[in-house]
A and B are shown apart, each in its own frame.
Chain A
Amino acid sequence: ETGVTQTPRHLVMGMTNKKSLKCEQHLGHNAMYWYKQSAKKPLELMFVYNFKEQTENNSVPSRFSPECPNSSHLFLHLHTLQPEDSALYLCASSQDDGDRVYGYTFGSGTRLTVV
């Protein structure tokens, strides 16, 4: 496996369900990210993990809960979501050397539909 892999590719869940999105990077990067992409809106940064430490949480509702057990894996746990949470959820990784950020490598994304 190479690059950044995300599973599942598609997910349909009810508002009372609990599910998790998984991301794994095989690039040796030290930073991982969750982004949300809704129709006709820019990519929205949700969470940042650098060296496994969460360094940013952009006022994301608590129904989204990230987990980063090591520098290669990132999860997004979902519970009691709302229909407006339906979107493409993208995981990305990068090598962060402090002053310079190299481009992110994105996974294929999970298309989430909340019914």
Chain B
Amino acid sequence: QKEVEQNSGPLSVPEGAIASLNCTYSDRGSQSFFWYRQYSGKSPELIMSIYSNGDKEDGRFTAQLNKASQYVSLLIRDSQPSDSATYLCAVKAAGNKLTFGGGTRVLVKP
């Protein structure tokens, strides 16, 4: 079983709609969770961090964490073509390292 799993996509979303991305992780002791956005040919950019169960909102992004079910999700509201990218879920388990999922490719169509 992979430590951090994401659907590779592509997730095709009409402009203005909500994109919903999911991520599951295997280590129950994980404490810190992150979402990164990576444009093609670029490096990952941190867009959200979440540490407690529940929702965390930042602009058009909402991260949701459910530690009992071991999943974390990202909602992108009012999706724009500029949101087209690969979104990486990252989880901190033991030590000070982050483990990344394979990423979900999102395509926002005008």
Binding site for B on A (CB under 8 A): 31, 33, 40-43, 45, 48, 50, 55-56, 90, 94, 96, 99-109
Chain A residues with CB under 8 Å of B55's CB are none
User: A100-B31, A101-B92 given as contacts; is B99 within 8 A of A106 (CB)?
Assistant: no
Min CB–CB distance B64 → chain A (angstroms): 17
Select which of B44, B51, B95, B101 is within 8 A of A100 by beta carbon. B51
B43 touches A103 (CB 8 A): no
B46 within 8 A of A: yes
Q: Which of A55, A107, A109 contacts B96 (CB 8 A)?
A: A55
> Which residues of chain B from 26 to 51 have a CB within 8 Å of any chain A CB?
31-32, 34, 36, 42-46, 49, 51
**CB closest chain-B residue, reference A58:** B97
**Which B residue's beta carbon lies closest to that of A102?**
B49
Q: What separation, in Å, do the CA atoms of A43 and B89 have in the docked complex?
A: 11
Q: Give Cα A69–Cα B72 distance, bound, in whole angstroms.
A: 37
Among A40, A55, A56, A106, max chain B CB count under 10 A is at: A106
Give the residue of A96, A99, A104 whose beta carbon is less than 8 angstroms from that of B46.
A104
The 7 closest A-B pairs by CB, nearest first: A103-B46, A43-B100, A106-B43, A42-B102, A96-B96, A101-B92, A109-B43
Q: Given the complex, which residues of B lie within 8 Å of A99, measured CB to CB?
A: 31
Q: Is the beta-carbon distance between A42 and B101 smaller than 8 angstroms?
A: yes
A16 to B45 alpha-carbon distance, docked (Å) = 34
Residues of chain B within 8 A of A100, CB atoms compared:
31-32, 51
- A103 — which chain B residues lie within 8 A by C-beta? 34, 36, 46, 49, 90
Question: Please, how many angstroms separate the alpha-carbon atoms of A55 and B94 in the complex?
Answer: 12
Q: How far is the CB of B93 from chain A (nearest CB, A)?
A: 10
Interchain CA distance A76-B47 in the complex, whole Å: 27
Determine the chain B residues whose CB is within 8 A of the CB of A106 once the complex forms.
Answer: 43-45
A48 cross-chain contacts in B, Cβ below 8 A = 95-97
CA distance A33 to B97 in the complex (A): 9
Question: For residue A103, which residue of chain B has the nearest CB?
Answer: B46
- Chain A residue nearest to B42 (CB atoms) is A108
In the bound complex, what is the Cα–Cα distance between A103 and B48 (angstroms)?
Answer: 9
